[in-house]
Amino acid sequence: MNHAQLTALGRALRLLGEHGEALSADTPDARLHEVKGDLRRALDLLEESVTSAAPATRCPEHPNGPVDTSAPDLCLLCETRRRAARHGSYGRPAAEAAPAPSRYGVREDRPQPQQRWLPELWNGREWQLCGTPRRDRREAELFLAAQRRAPRAAIAYRLVHEFTDYEVVRVWGNPVRVDIEPLGNM
C-alpha cells in the first residue's frame, strides 16, 4: 500500500465511521444510498491496496500453502514435518521402497548339485523303483540289504545314483545387489 492509497483508504473508512455515528431511525433512504456508495468506494480502495491473496493458513511461513484442516495452524507442510518428527522418520526413504516379501522362497545363486540313491529291483522284465529315493548312500544300501533278506525278495536288486544339477541358461536384466533400507521405527 503506497502513501496515496493509505490516505484515500483512511479517509473513506473515517467517512464510514461518521455514517455509523449519524445513523438513526430517522435516517432517510437517500442518506442510506449515499452510505452504500461510500461503502463501495471504501471496498474498492481496500481491494486496490491489498495485492496478495488472503492467507489460506495461519502459518507465518506458508500463509498460502496447502491446507490441512486437522492441523492447528491449518498448514499441511508444517503438519507433515511435525508428524514425521513425532514418528522419528523424517528424511528416511519411504517404507514402500522395501520389496514385498515373496511367497516363493529364494535359492542360492549356484545351488548345490542334488544327488539321490534309488533302490531298484528286477521284476523279471525291467528294473523298477522299489523304495523311496535316499539322500544318503549308506541308508539306501541298508534298505536294499533288508529287501534282499525279505521272504518274498526279488531275484535282483540294484542301487542307482541319480545326480542332478542346475544350470542358469539365460538371465534377463542386471541382478545388481541392492541393500534394503531398514524400515523406520514405525
Cell numbers for 141, please give them: 544300501
What number of chain residues touch Zn ion (CB under 5 A)? 6
75 vs 140, which CB is nearer to Zn ion? Answer: 75
44 vs 61, which CB is nearer to Zn ion? Answer: 61
Tell the smallest beta-carbon distance from residue 107 to Zn ion (Å): 51
Tell the smallest beta-carbon distance from residue 78 to Zn ion (Å): 3
Tell the smallest beta-carbon distance from residue 51 to Zn ion (Å): 21
Tell the smallest beta-carbon distance from residue 85 to Zn ion (Å): 13
DSSP-derived secondary structure for the chain: --HHHHHHHHHHHHHHHHHHHH--TT--HHHHHHHHHHHHHHHHHHHHH--SPPPSSS-SS-TTS-B-TTSTT-BHHHHHHHHHHHHT-TTPPPGGGSPPPPSS----SSPPPEEEEEEEEE-SSSEEE-S--BS-HHHHHHHHHHHHHSTT--S-EEEEEEEE--------S-----PPPPPP--
Tell the smallest beta-carbon distance from residue 31 to Zn ion (Å): 47
31 vs 62, which CB is nearer to Zn ion? Answer: 62
Among the candidate windows 12-20, 55-63, 110-118, 121-129, which touches Zn ion by CB under 5 A? 55-63
- Pick from 9, 12, 74, 78 the residue near Zn ion by CB under 5 A: 78
CA–CA distance, 58 with 135 (Å, rounded to integer): 74
Region for 139 from its dihedrals, namely left if φ exceeds 0, alpha if ψ lies in -120 to 50, beta otherwise: alpha
Tell the smallest beta-carbon distance from residue 92 to Zn ion (Å): 21
45 vs 59, which CB is nearer to Zn ion? Answer: 59
- Pick from 31, 62, 82, 92 the residue near Zn ion by CB under 5 A: 62
DSSP lists the bridge partners of residue 129 as: 120
Among the candidate windows 4-12, 75-83, 84-92, 115-123, which touches Zn ion by CB under 5 A? 75-83
Q: Which residues bind Zn ion (CB under 5 A)?
A: 59, 61-62, 75, 77-78
